[in-house]
Every structure is written in structure tokens, then in C-alpha cells.
Structure 1
Amino acid sequence: MTVDLAGYRNVPDALADRARLRPQHPALIVSPDGGPDGEEVYTHAELHARVERSARRLAARLEPGSRVVLALPSGVGFVESYFGCLTAGMVAVPVPPPGGSATARARIEQIVRDCEPALVLTEEGDVQGLAETVARAGLEDCAVESPAVAQAAAEERAALPEAGRDTLGVLQYSSGSTGEPKGVMVSQGNVLTNAELFCRANGADQDDVFGGWIPLHHDMGLFAMLSSAVLAGATVVLMSPTSFVKRPATWLRLIERHRISVSAAPSFAFDLCVRLVPKEQADAVDLSSLHCVINGSEPVHVPTLRAFTEHFAAAGFAPEAMTPGYGLAEATVYVSTKPPRQRPALLITGAGQEAAGCGLPIGFELRIVDPVTRRACAPGETGEIWVRGDSVGQGYWNRPGTSEEIFRATLADSADAARWLRTGDLGSVREGELVITGRLKEVMVIRGRNVFPQDVEHEARAAHPLLAGFNGAAFAVQAPEERVVLVHEISPVASPEEFPALVAAVRKHLTGVLGSPLRDVVLLRRGAVRRTTSGKIQRGTMRSLFLEGGLAPVYADLSREVRGLLPA
């Protein structure tokens, strides 16, 4: 059955309809560690009842439009609080659960300082720590509570406001991979539209089972998995991201046990499964239920795509299920995925690199634009991806100037005064497929040639086995011309005696690939390369740490010019 959400005024109306039409159908299954023990199952009727109770308790305490920070793990507490906010006319602000992480607390402090919430919901064990974080942000009137305490603190009889499609529903903060996080204003209409488009583009409907480990504070988890599934009247199965990272096979067993048909993950997750799930385990799991597993959130690595498809072929994983996709928080999440039940198109970019096609957008207009002249590129040329449509967010919270520049751009060579979203991503349309090249802010120009950091990082791992499976970050510095610096984690089994030969091999390989010498390489311990919560490399952060002397190299081979940029 086709998912049709166009006729709903708001998200609460769609939720109520699902509870009416499919009351006993499972809406949410929570499997914290990915295993069968302790799983919780909630039908659409049960989930709707919990959401409405949460909404009335929020409405009894807070004014419509109040921001509510959700610092909660993937579970029923997050789900009922998220939909409860939308039902009560509040604005949900998903953030990573702190869990003792200094990085997560720092991110939360940035976000609460920016959005000034009236309430922060977190697990009981994190209340005291987050209360201190909120106090540092200067928000004396902001309560920090667990969902259970928040629900006990208010009556359930409060009236609920009537939200419209333009009512602000979510502040979805960007990952921070290229700078400090900005809050994308996502309306209730954006949520409804994007859920419908995601389902249409990927051949999903109410009979599907969505699910996986993507955290719910990430747009792929919140909108592509949770919101799309529940609003379609389908089932979503949630597990802990930490459980996946510790034991990647738990994701695969979750798919088998619940016959999950729609899932999603960044490219690094597929690589992790190939490396850490032995062939005998891979052959024993059943992945035949999958008809769509989105490979997105970061550039799709074609060798990883191939390796996963081959590694799990005996498990019943169909090549057609692998679904390269493109999206971003500024467009809610979904922009484009390959057509359903077709094999991914593998194409050659203008730079001669192999890339996976992401289909063409459904529900968006698309232009490839020269980012400097703002003129449309010729067919096949690489430029900045611009889109417009009803899924595009309302702008950035409290950033009118940036919102005008990014969300309301105009083409220089068109009489059409329509406004476009500048995505900041580079790509082209080739053979009827959108091909993603990289981030505009991260592209490096070396001797007149565009060099993309992810290509450098992938080639470095291919150059030596002691780098395979670890993270790297490539970025440019001015010394005095633009030069590429590569910082990369190294296997803990490597001995210091091996470092010079290893770096020499990497430099030789990368110089051949780039067509110009790469001189500057820094080796780091495992885990030293910063990433966002979705696994994106924080290249800007790594560049800053490098130039500030904030890294702790185990070995560095730097040119005199680049070394001169560093603190004495």
C-alpha cells in the first residue's frame, strides 16, 4: 500500500490515524543490546496512548513552542517524548545521550546555549551531570529530569494545541563535521512530507519492518527510520549503537530475527561488518528479508559496497538491496536514493573515480550549480548540489543571515525568482544518476586539481595493511601554497621500527594517485581521529588540532614548511 501523508494537518493526526487503523500492529520494538532478552513491544494503539499522555503532561507545564532537549538513548522514552513534543506543540531537540562522554557533554552545552530549552530529558543517572552542563550555559530556569519524573510532575488533563504543517516540530542540529552545530528548523509538514517521499523512493509501506542501530538523535535514525516507519503504519526495531560498534554481528542478527526489510547505515558500518564478522558467521545469518538498506550519511565507498555484497551473498543479501543514498538535515533527511529493487549504478566521475549513483530525487527539484558564479552547470559537470521542495527546512535557528544565504539562494542565470537550498555538497548527474563527490568546504585544490579528502583517506588505507580498518583525516594547509596533510590512526600491533617504511609506502602510493607529491603524514593511536556521532570524519577539527599542536603523534614525517606552521 502506498504511503500517503499529504492530507494530514500535522504529525499527531497521522499518529492517531495509525492507532485507529492498525491498533494491534507492532509499531515499536526495542532491543537494547540487539538480542532477544528484554525486548519491549508496543502496538500502534499503545504507543499512541503513551505519546498522548506525554504530550498532555508537557502541555500542562510548558508553553507551545518551548524547546525540549531529548538526551535519551534509543528506546520508548525517547520515542514517546519526541512524538509527545510534536503533539503538544513543543519543539523536540534531539542530542546524543551523555553517557559519561566529555565530547557529548560539550556538544549538548553548545546546543542548549543556542536553543535555550525549557526542559532537558535524560536518563536518571545523567540528570546531575546535565544539570551542571545546563547551569554552565546560563539557563537557570531550565529543568533537567528523567522522563519518568517529568511525567509524574504534571497532570494529564491539559488541552493540546492545534498544530499546522508549518508549526516548528524539531530542531535537528547538524553533525558538526565542518563546524559548530547549527539547528535546522524542521516543521511538522517537513516530517510528514519527507517520510512519505522516503517510503515512495524506496518502495516501503505499512507491511515493512524498519530498523537498525542508527541513533535517534541523528536525522537518519529519527526521520528515515523512526518517523517514516511509525507514520507509515509499519514497525520499527531499535537497538543500541554501542552494541553495534562492539559487536557488528548484532545488527545482522537483529535483521534476521525480526525479518527487517528496511535499514540504514553509513559506509563505515558496512566495512566494519566485512572486517569483524568472520565468513562462517556471515554465511550463517539470514539477510534475505532486506530489500532496502540505505548506504548514506557519508560518501559511499564503492570497494566497501562490493565487499559487503560479496561477503554476505551466501546469507541471502541481494545486490539490489544495497541502496546508495544522499540526504542532509537541511532537507529533513531524504533527498535521493537509487530506484528500489535495482542494482546500484557504478559510474565514473569527471575526476576518473568510481562512484555509486544515488538515483534522482523524488519530490525535489535539483540543480547542479557553479558555487562561485551561481550559474547552472552543463550536463555532466560537477558543481554544488541545490534542491528545493516541501521537505526543505525553514532555516537555521537564530541565524537569519546564514539562513538567507543557505536556504533562500537564487540562480544568477535564471529569471525564476524561486529560492533554493545550497547543500554545500558537490556532485553531478551522470547517466540519470546523482553522483556525490564530496563537501565543498573540504575540497583541496592541489596544482590546479580538485582533490577530495575521502579519496586520499581511502587510498592511504589501501597503501598499507597497518592502516586498513582505521580512520584518517586529510586536509589542506597553506605552506605557502596549498598542501595536503594526512593524519591517520595506525594498528596497535605496529612497532615503531615499522613507521618510517610505512609512511614511505603511503607517500609513494598517494603521490602516484594525486599526481603530485604528498609529503606530510602523521600517525596517531587508534581512536585519535575525531568523528561525529554518525561516523563522519571531523576534518575541520583535526586540522585545527594539528595546527594548534593538539595531536599526540606516534610518528610524524613533515616538511620544513609545514612544520613551521606548528607551535614551537
Structure 2
Amino acid sequence: MPRFAHLVEALHAAPGDKPFIAFWVDEDEQETVTFAEFRRCALAEAALLREVGLTAGDRLVVLMPQGIPAMTSFVAAMMVGAIPAFLAYPNFKVEPSKYRSGLAGVTANLSAKAVVIDEEFPEEMLACVSLGSETKLLRAPARANDSDASMPDRQHEFRHIQPDSLAFIQHSAGTTGLQKGVALTHAAVLRQIEYLAQVLKVSGDDRIYSWLPLYHDMGLIACFMLPMVCHIPLVMQSPIEWVMRPETMLQIISEYKCTLAWMPNFAFQFVPRRTPQSRWAEYDLSSVRLLINCSEPVRASSMVEFQRAFAVKSAVLQSSYAMAENVFAVTQSDIGQPSGPSRIWVDAQQFRSAHRIMPLEEGTPGALLFTSSGRLMPNQQVRILSDSGEVLGADFVGEIVVQSDCLFEGYYNRPDLTAQAIIDGWYHTGDLGFCLKGELYVVGRKKDLLIIGGENIYPQDIEEIVGSHPAIHDGRVIAMGVYNPDLGTEDIVVVAEVEHEKWLANAVELEREICSRVVAGLGVAVRRIFLKPPKWIVKSTAGKAARSATREKLLHEHPELNVEF
């Protein structure tokens, strides 16, 4: 891969006639642009941004639906040396009050010079966009006019962009006003992309598929910046369209012969469960060489379910540990390993009581299965720390801390949060995991850990069992700890959405059945299961269950639980 000084230079080096983005709307509508067409559109919009006074270092918020126009505005801002940030566009999956609060908080923190919205942006949401006296509200056309744009002299036009200049700010922490803007330089982003291209063996024959939101690091880095820098085609669709019709992912990959894609763990179950089994064999995923499980703890059962449904080879299903604060990937599983990511069985009792890793033979009673997130990418370092900050050995679980040459500059305009997160040059991720034989295993979030009767219980383990019941909606389960003053410890409480409201008529029997499954699977008892109708659980801007907001809603509706927490 050639070395570039900044991201805009990488875009200008792309072959003009090569396809860049194909945006799939539905079976009858797709919008496509070549690299040359995209460049001309971005240059035309950059000229308009200059006319309204945008200059190097100014922040620009892109608040538009996923698609080529939003991507054009983002790159146009970089062309003038400004610092763009994608924010989530309002949709029916998001709790309106949470979205308003988050939008107001984030836009205020950025102090943006301009906010770009589309013609369809809801008028009732405009009041939530924090506009200072110097902030301009711009409405972008459905498609930039590229007819008068010409290719500028690169060195003259973009000399103001330096490798250590901030390229953009990415937000990926849910819907609250406490979102942290991760500030990333051109150099850090380009280093990350170089490492990804090297480890994944990216070539000109690759074609990326994505439904991932552009405000999320997977969508922004792996599925926008990577193809832009490596000059490979991208086929994408709206996240909302994917959520409503996940089967379309299979249709698009089959039709466009895509080779690379990233997905969070839940999607590996969601797609086969939302695709009628009678149609599984209709789709041809043979073109896919890597489908990477990323952004959540990797679960073997999820990947096996996808593999069995669509007959993909084990080597296709890979894993990675990534975060916005490191641009993207910290680790990547070995793509040359035919069996896919490494797996290990460990003693469940030792894991829960002492956070200790004691390997066992597969199938041993009382064993837990973990799937590796892979080995370190180039120039990445990881340590596992105890609560007191001591470096732990390979047989203990602790907080994952990261140091690399891709690490972010800090949380934008929040030196207080930056000082808490980066200590002596190491970023404290808040994730728990362990290292074994040079591979990283991620087990959950530190803040989500439930300590029940002295044992460490991960809510994701409970949620996986509850969510596997046919009456429960996939991905709409939240397990939490609620303090029990009589016992002096926390009880496990679960809230879950039923697939159809008719299931609520048999709630008592269903709760009993689900509790029995949890006891059989984990050996722990659930105090209460609250079954709720569809659409009850609070969603994040990505359409996923929002843990803290759902907890607040449950405690508000059931004050008897609100003894102490």
C-alpha cells in the first residue's frame, strides 16, 4: 500500500474510473459513484463550505441519513482542513427523549462552525441541535453538483493538511449527552489502515459490504476510510433497512460478490434467525473470504449458527478487538488458520469466583468456552491489570489497557475524561479479558460485571440463554444486578421483550421456563424476569438495547426494586 501524507491525498491517488461506492436502497434502486465522481462532488461541496467561512480546524457536524451525500459532506470538510463528525440521524428505533438529550450535548461540546443536515431532517429535532452564535445550519442537496468542479493542484490546494492535523472526530458511545468525541489525526488513521491492509491481505480484488452506521468505528474506518485509502469498491445499505430486512445482506453479498465484511457478534445470530430457513440455500456467499466478528465479546455459538445456516467455511469467520480510541483494531485473528479463531475451555467455577483461567478439555462438565479476538496488530501493546493497577499474568482476568501508535489524541474538549482514560500513556478500555499464548480473549465490560454472592457473573452469558428462547426477541434482553438488603448482595434481574404480545398471556409459565434454562446453563438463579411487549426496551442510536437507560426505565416502572443500587 502506498504511503500518503493525509487521507485527502489518498483519495486523490485513486484511479478515477474505478467504482467506489454502490449504495443499495432496494431491489429496484441503487446509487453508484466512481472515485472520480466522488472526488468531484466532494470538491464542489468543499468550495461551498469555504464560501460560508469554514476553515482549517473548524468543526463540522454531518447529521444526514447514511449514504453517498453524507460521505461527500464528510470528505468535503476534510478537504478544507476542517474536522468533521458524523452524528446519528434520528430514526424510529431510538427513544426520542434520549436522542434529543444526546444530540444537544454532543453538538454543544463540539462547538461546530457548521451543521449539515438533509432536506428531510425533522423540524421538531432542529431545536436539539445546539447552535452557537457562530454556527451555521446548512441543508445539503440530495446530490452535490459536480459539473463545475475541476481537479485542483494537489500540493497547492491541500498543503494546509498536515499528518498530525486532526482528521475527524468519531462518537460511538450510545445516545447520552456524555458521549465522548474521539479526536484522531490523519497519521493515526493512515497507520491503522496500513496495518489492516497488511494483516487482512487487502487487494484490488476485494469488495467490502457494510450496513454499519458511519458514526461507529466499524462503519467509519473499516467500511469507509479503508476502501477510500486502499482504492477498493464498497457496497453499502442503510442500517435501518438492514435491521428491518436483515436477509438483504445475503442478497447484496450474493449479487455483488463481496469479499470482506465486519459485523458485531449479535448479527451472526440475527441474520439466520430473521431469514426463513427455506431460503438459506438460495444465497451464495462463496465470494466472501473474511467475515469479521467485532465490537462485542466473540461467542462461538453465534458464529457456528451463521456458519451452519449459510455453509461458509470456518476460515471465513474471523474475529477482532477494536475501539474508536485506537482508530479501530487492536487485534485480529489469524486469517490463515483454517479452523477460524482459537477457542479455549476453562473452569467456570474458578473463572467466576477468582477470575482465574484454568484450561480444561473440551466437553468437561462445568467448563466455559471462550473465543479469541486474535493476536496484536503491528505496533500495538496490551496489558491486563488488576483493580489495584498491577500487571496480571496469563491465568487471570483483568482490565485491558492499550498502547499503540494509533491511539487517539484525547476526548475532544474533555481533558478531564482524557486524564481518567489515558494513564502513563496507556488507554484504560474498561473491558475485561485475559491473554493466553499470545492471543487476547475479551469477556465483557468492567462496569457491567455482576458480583452475585461473591461470584463474577457476566450479563451477556445470561442474556444469551434468555434470548435463545423462541418467545424472546433477539437482542432485546438486559440482565442487571439489583441490591437485596436482606441478603447483603445483588440479585439477578432480567428484562426481556417477547417476540409477540400474545406470549404475555403465559408470562408466569414462560418466566419459570426461562429461569430453569439459566440455572441449567450457568448454575445461578434469576430473582425476577420481567417480560415486556415489543419495543419496550430503550434502544441506542444503532438500534441496540441500551443497558443503562433500560435499567432506569425498569426501576422507574417497578419502584419495589429501587431499594438501593
> What is the TM-score when the length of structure 2 is the normalising length?
0.88
The structural deviation recorded for 1:256 is 1.2
* 1:365-384 paired onto structure 2 within 5 Å: 365-384=380-399
Partner of 1:16: 12
- Percent same amino acid at aligned positions? 25
Match of 1:348 in 2: 345
User: Given residue 382 of structure 2, which amino acid in structure 1 is its aligned partner?
Assistant: R
Count of residue correspondences? 531
Q: Which amino acid aligns with 2:64?
A: L
Find the aligned partners of 1:534 and 1:363 in 2 and give their Cα distance: 30
Q: Which segment drifts farther, 202-211 or 138-147?
A: 138-147
Q: Which residue of 2 aligns with 1:327?
A: 322
Structure 2 equivalent of residue 474 of structure 1: 479
Q: 1:545 is matched with which residue: 549, 553, 557?
A: 553
- 1:325, 1:358 within 8 Å by CA — same for their partners in 2? yes
Query: Bigger shift: 234-243 or 56-65?
Result: 56-65
Q: Distance in 2 between matches of 1:15 and 1:309?
A: 36
Instruction: Report whether the alignment pairs 1:402 with 2:417.
Output: yes
Counterpart of 1:449? 455
More displaced stretch, 346-355 vs 291-300: 346-355
Q: Call closer, same or farther: CA 1:138–1:507 in 2, change over 3 Å.
A: same
Asked whether the 8 Å contact 1:326–1:334 carries over to 2, the reply is: yes
Structure with the larger strand share: 2
- The 8 Å contact of residues 400 and 428 in structure 2, kept in 1 or not, is answered as yes
Paired position in structure 1 for 2:30: 39
Q: Post-superposition shift, 1:359?
A: 1.0
After TM superposition, give the deviation of residue 245 of structure 1 in Å.
Answer: 1.4
Distance apart, 1:516 and its partner CA: 4.0
Residues 237-294 of structure 1 show CA distances to partners (whole Å, capped at 9, x for unaligned) of 1111122112112111111111110112222222121112123321011101101112
Q: Residue type of the partner of 1:256?
A: S
Measure, in 1, the Cα distance between the counterparts of 2:264 and 2:41. 31
Name the Cα RMSD after superposition: 2.6
User: Quick one: which amino acid aligns to residue 422 of structure 1?
Assistant: H
- Establish whether residue 429 from structure 1 lines up as the match of residue 420 from structure 2: no
Q: String of CA shifts for 1:337-394, please: whole Å, max 9, x gaps.
A: 2112432222225634212211112124333322422121101321111111121111
CA-CA distance at 1:193 after TM superposition: 1.6
Which residue, out of 461, 465, 480, partners 2:467? 461
Residues 470, 491 of structure 1: alpha-carbon distance in 2 compared, 3 angstrom cutoff: farther
C-alpha contact 2:6 2:162 (8 A) present in aligned 1: yes
> Cα–Cα, structure 1 residues 117 and 487, in superposed 2: closer, same or farther, change >3 Å?
same
Pick closer, same or farther for the CA change 1:495–1:23 going to 2, 3 Å.
Answer: closer
| Cα distance between partner residues in 1 of 2:203 and 2:99 | 35
Equivalent pair of 2:58/2:112 in contact (CA under 8 Å): yes
Structure 1 349/286 Cα, relative in aligned 2: closer, same or farther at 3 Å?
Answer: same
Distance (Å, rounded) in 1 between the aligned partners of 2:256 and 2:309: 21
Cα distance in 2 between the residues matched to 1:257 and 1:495: 38
- Seen in structure 2, the aligned counterparts of structure 1 residues 533 and 322 have a Cα distance that, compared at 3 Å, is farther
CA positional deviation for 1:528: 1.8
Q: Tell me the CA shift for residue 542 of structure 1.
A: 1.7
Following the alignment from structure 1 to structure 2, what is the Cα–Cα distance between the partners of residues 538 and 53? 39
| Aligned partners of 2:289 and 2:316 also within 8 Å | yes
* Residue 252 of structure 2 is aligned to residue 254 of structure 1: yes
State the partner residue of 2:213: 215
Matched residue type, 1:131: L
Instruction: State how far apart, in whole Å, the 1-side matches of 2:279 and 2:523 are.
Output: 41
Query: Contact between 1:55 and 1:160, CA under 8 Å: does it hold in 2?
Result: no
The Cα of 1:205 is off from its aligned counterpart by: 2.4
**SS of match in other structure, 1:237:** strand
Secondary structure at the counterpart of residue 234 of structure 2: strand
**1:508 counterpart residue number:** 516
1:382 partner letter:
V
Residues 461 and 467 of structure 1 are in contact (CA less than 8 Å); yes or no, is this contact kept in structure 2? yes
SS for the counterpart of 2:321 is strand
Partner residue of 1:124? 119
Distance 1:98 1:497 in 2: 33
Report Cα offsets for 1:485-514 as digits up to 9, x if no partner: 211111325444411122122223324444
The reply on whether 1:525 has 2:529 as its aligned counterpart is no
Once residues 218 and 498 of structure 2 are traced to their aligned partners in structure 1, the CA distance between those partners, rounded to angstroms, is 30
Q: Distance between the aligned counterparts of 1:427 and 1:453, measured in 2?
A: 15
Q: 1:274 to 1:296 in 2, by over 3 A?
A: same
**TM-score, normalization: structure 1?**
0.87
Give the aligned residue type for 1:347. Answer: I
C-alpha distance in structure 1 between counterparts of 2:141 and 2:504, whole Å: 52
User: Does the residue aligned with 1:459 lie in a helix, a strand or coil?
Assistant: helix
- Do 1:130 and 1:144's aligned partners in 2 also have CA atoms closer than 8 Å? no
Kept in 1: contact 2:105–2:177 (CA 8 A): no
Provide the C-alpha distance between the structure 2 equivalents of 1:338 and 1:85, rounded to a whole number of angstroms: 35
For 1:542 and 1:233, the matched residues in 2 are separated by 42
Change (3 A) 1:62 1:349: farther
How far apart are residue 146 of structure 1 and its match? 2.2
Contact 2:291 2:318 in 1 (8 A): yes
The correspondence of residues 153-172 of structure 1 with structure 2, limited to 5 A, is 160=158, 162-172=160-170
Whether the aligned pair in 1 keeps the contact of 2:298 and 2:372 (CA below 8 Å) is no
Alignment partners' CA distance in 2, 1:421 and 1:277: 40
Offset at residue 531 of structure 1 (A): 3.2
Residues 435, 178 of structure 1: alpha-carbon distance in 2 compared, 3 angstrom cutoff: farther
Greater CA drift, 502-511 or 438-447: 502-511
2:330 and 2:380 in contact (8 A); partners too: no
Structure 1 residue identity aligned to 2:190? L
Bigger shift: residues 172-181 or 271-280: 172-181
Aligned runs of 1:87-102 on 2, under 5 Å? 87-99=79-91, 102=96
Aligned to 1:415: none
Check the 8 A contact 2:118/2:142 in 1, yes or no: no
In structure 2, relative to structure 1, the CA distance for the partners of 1:211 and 1:176 (3 Å cut) is same
Counterpart contact for 1:386–1:423, Cα < 8 Å: yes
- Cα distance, 1:525 vs structure 2: 1.3
Instruction: Provide the rounded CA distance (Å) in 1 between the counterparts of 2:475 and 2:221.
Output: 29
**Structure 1 counterpart of 2:41:** 50
Q: Which runs of 5+ in 1 are unaligned?
A: 411-418, 552-557
Comparing 8-17 with 490-499, which one deviates more in the overlay? 490-499
